[in-house]
Chain A
Amino acid sequence: MKLRITTLAAALAVAVLTAPAEAKTFRYAFQGDLNALDPYTLNETFTLGAMGNVMEGLTKRDKDLKIIPGLAERWEIVEPTRWRFYLRKGVKFHGGEPFTADDVIFSAERALSPESNIKSRIAAGTKVVKVDDHTVEFITTGPNPILHYEWDTWYIFSKAWSEANGATKVQTSSSQLSPFTLKANGTGPFIIESHQPGVKTVFKPNPNWWGKPEHNLTEVIFQTIKSDATRVAALLSGEIDMMDPVPVQDIARVKANASTDVLTGPELRTIFLNMDSLRDELLYSDVKGKNPFKDARVRKAFYQAIDMEAIHSRVMRGNSANSAILISPLLFSRSAEFKRHPYDPDAAKKLLTEAGYPNGFAVEMDCPNDRYVNDEAICQAVVAMLARIGIKAKLNAMPKAKYFEKAGATQKYDSSFNLLGWTPGSFDSHNVLLNLVGCRDGKGSGAFNYGGYCNPKVDEIAGKVLTENDPTKRDELIAQAYRIVHDEAGLIPLHQQTLAWGVSKKVKIVQRADNQILFYWAQKE
């Protein structure tokens, strides 16, 4: 009997000591869904962010997006084409499987498999070699300074778990969901407890995580709330602790509320305008037999006719940062050297006259209306501003599904003038130079160059950027390329959007510029 009482007392003591002071449930909502839990299926920020709480890559990025060690403790460049990664020891997956070099090799193969949507994580031709259980080497075909730039979202799978759960093949984007995509097994600070695609996902902290937790949460619940007004209401009523995004027009209201606040910060996405400078005759225009956009003076006239201050203060209500280049200043060290061509309608009118269009011309502008913050309103403002220099632009605003079909590769870039937004997945300028300003070759270069701008000199520099290992020289090359695009107004950069997260004042959370919602840094009162 005595023994039993002692045991009981001991058990009680343990329970009291280990039980968390109280349940801290963090509830958040996003406008989009979380579907398959296979992070190799869809290369998309929100999904990758949610999974980043559960799974980990060899590297991670800290609160300022700086690359820090993740599942790799450290790494070294043995020779320019051979990188060696030393893996963290004693790490276990949620399912209890130990983390070793085999998992890295398996994950590399999985990421490069035909069904994968994240092939860009590992440069083509890279060989992955196991040195020992906790050392892996990556042998590249040429020097590659940004080899590991995207590895924070190349999450490592457990080989044993994948084989046991039929997850060796990536969930393809065209077939039925496999059962394994409702589960996840990572090494990260949170475990997915339940997942109903498109409705609700529940996370619990991982008690055996290798790192030191910086959060105090006991449970996290994610729900989709599509309607803007409802998402705002749910935050104001205290049903959720955080939501993304806050519509621009509601920011003031959420801030004014006593128990909520809005976290704003620069986002990495840049919004810009493309002008078709490739076709010999401009489509959807009254100019016949030639293409005015081939003349840099016309492009610059468009550039200088747009009053970005007005767009910043009126359309975006101050929630944007005007930009002179096609990448966020957070991602390029020398961005401060670039200044926008000044807003000057008189100079623009003069340029048009010099180019032979004193009375302007007519053109159609294509614009998505459900993709970027106030996308359609920005286009409306641009159309009105262009009217002042005699350009009769007709706006075609359309849903994103239609827009990307028309202005993009599907319908052979059937557009004369359009608005697009871009975040380089690698957080690096080479991605911008390749996708947005590279000459369209139908293969990889210029895939998102919706205006067909083409300057072989820029492509040549981009080629050098790819293999230059010295950071200073590399940035110099990038600056040269941006300088050319800027000088001849190849595209018109507009601004970077602002992130706006609505948060309860009870919650402290880190807002990272890439818009991943990482609650492993969240504290709740």
Chain B
Amino acid sequence: MLAFTIRRLFEAAIVMLTVALMAFVLFRFVGDPINQMVGQDTSLAEREELRERLGLNDPVLVQFGRFIWNAARYDFGISYQVKRPVTSLIAERFPATFELALTAAFFAILLGIPMGVYTGIHRDSWLSKLFLSVSLIGISLPTFLIGILLIYVFAVQLGVLPSFGRGEVVRIGGWTTGLLTASGLKALILPAITLGLFQMTLVTRLVRSQMLEVLRTDYIKFARARGLGDRAVNFGHALKNTLIPVITIIGLQLGAIIAFAIITETVFQWPGMGLMFIQAVQNADIPVMSAYLLLVAFLFVLINLIVDLLYVWIDPRVRIYGREA
């Protein structure tokens, strides 16, 4: 188990180094940050001096080496645009994104699983068809459009929910939360639905197809033959057996919604990491971009690691192979 974990961690380090290197090569094409850092009357000499001071004139490999050296000491530099340490910027923005992603995931699970079960059992009912149509919308409409539609209906027409921002937040230690105030909770609803709709659809469809498969198996037939009630059969036996792939997918998707809440955060002016990243891209803010990409790589590596370890825990066969290696 320990050897397995160590090997995984080693692989993780290589993945992150590769991501960092690729990001750095790409940064050569994002443009010049200087123009966004100074006013238009700044002389060419001053601009050149600034470029020199930031080390932008060094070869890519030198810049990369410096970045890795600093990153190893948890120093990601200072944002060109906001002029604050990237580590504290990310620490400040992470709670907003995390709360949003978690709420979206809960929304997706709490609605997706029952809908999946229902449509799996009652394949031909009109309600199933309605659920499936709704989930089709969730999959086919782009996130920004869903967000704007929700804003239009609930903020502009009905005026019941805010169209942007995070509401009032409460600070607990280094963490800010919007979950403890009425305005914070209200502000969370629309972005969470927008971000979670796609995941909900995914969960619904996954649970449905798994249910359809499981309900055909012999042990379900035997369970029915034993005279168990519908409830016990459907939820006690069938659903339980559908959940293993569902949990895997949800775990991986949680990483995806933390990392790629960019569009939702932009539409709702949600002060999270995604919004910070998109602004960094527009202004060629290299320190923020590189740290963010590294963080995302780390997140995925971490989630994969946890999932792998879970497999080992659940499935003894993997444990045996792990020991051999």
Contacts and interface: CB of A to CB of B under 8 A. Distances in A.
B164 A401 contact: no
Contact of A199 (B33, B152, B159, B271): B271
B44 A447 contact: yes
A231 B38 CA distance: 26
A307 B40 CA distance: 30
Interface stretch (A13-21, A35-43, A342-350): A35-43
Interface string A354-389: 000000000000000010000000000000000000
Given A229-B148, A230-B151, A117 B44 contact: no
A448 B40 contact: yes
A225 B269 contact: yes
Contacts of A249: none
Contacts of A33: 81-82, 279
Given A226-B275, A230-B268, A239-B155, A173 B38 contact: yes
A447 B156 contact: no
B269 A401 contact: no
A401 B156 contact: no
19 contacts: A33-B82, A35-B83, A117-B38, A120-B41, A176-B84, A199-B271, A223-B165, A226-B269, A229-B151, A238-B159, A239-B162, A399-B282, A401-B32, A404-B31, A404-B35, A406-B31, A408-B35, A410-B47, A425-B40
Interface in B155-193: 155-156, 159, 162-165
Q: Give the size category of B's interface with A.
A: 35 or more
Interface string B192-210: 0000000000000000000
A418 B39 CA distance: 21
Contacts of A351: none
A400 interface: yes
A447 B42 CA distance: 10
A304 B2 CA distance: 75
Interface string B259-272: 00000001111010
Interface in B22-65: 29-45, 47, 50-51, 53-54
A398 B283 CA distance: 13
A174 B53 contact: yes
B40 A43 contact: yes
Contacts of B148: 229-230, 233
Interface string A213-225: 0000000000111
Contacts of A234: 155, 163-164
Contacts, number: 151
B277 interface: no
A227 B269 contact: yes
B45 A443 contact: yes
A428 to B, nearest CB: 12
Contacts of A199: 271
A233 B152 contact: yes
A405 B162 CA distance: 39
A175 B77 CA distance: 9
Contacts of B164: 223, 225, 230-231, 233-234, 239
B284 interface: yes
Nearest to A447: B44
Contact of A410 (B32, B37, B82, B283): B32
A36 B47 contact: no
Given A401-B284, A409-B47, A237 B159 contact: yes
Interface in A327-358: none
Given A118-B41, A239-B162, 13 more contacts: A119-B41, A176-B78, A176-B84, A229-B151, A233-B148, A233-B151, A239-B155, A401-B284, A402-B30, A403-B31, A405-B31, A410-B51, A443-B43
A400 B271 CA distance: 23
Nearest to A197: B82
B67 interface: no
B151 to A, nearest CB: 5
Interface in B260-300: 266-269, 271, 275, 278-279, 282-284
Interface string A414-458: 000000001001000001000000000011100110000000000
B80 interface: yes
A425 B164 CA distance: 33
Nearest to A223: B165
Given A226-B266, A226-B269, A400 B83 contact: no
Contacts of A237: 155-156, 159, 163
A405 B36 CA distance: 11
A224 B269 contact: yes
B85 interface: yes
A234 to B, nearest CB: 5
A227 B266 contact: yes
A425 B42 CA distance: 11
Interface string B237-276: 0000000000000000000000000000011110100010
Given A239-B155, A401-B36, A226 B31 contact: no
A230 B162 CA distance: 10
A398 B30 CA distance: 10
B44 A400 contact: no
B112 to A, nearest CB: 27
B84 A230 contact: no
A236 B83 contact: no
A226 B279 contact: yes
Top-7 shortest CB links A-B:
A43-B39, A401-B31, A405-B32, A402-B31, A401-B284, A404-B35, A120-B41
Contacts of B78: 174-176
A400 B36 contact: yes
Contacts of B31: 398-406
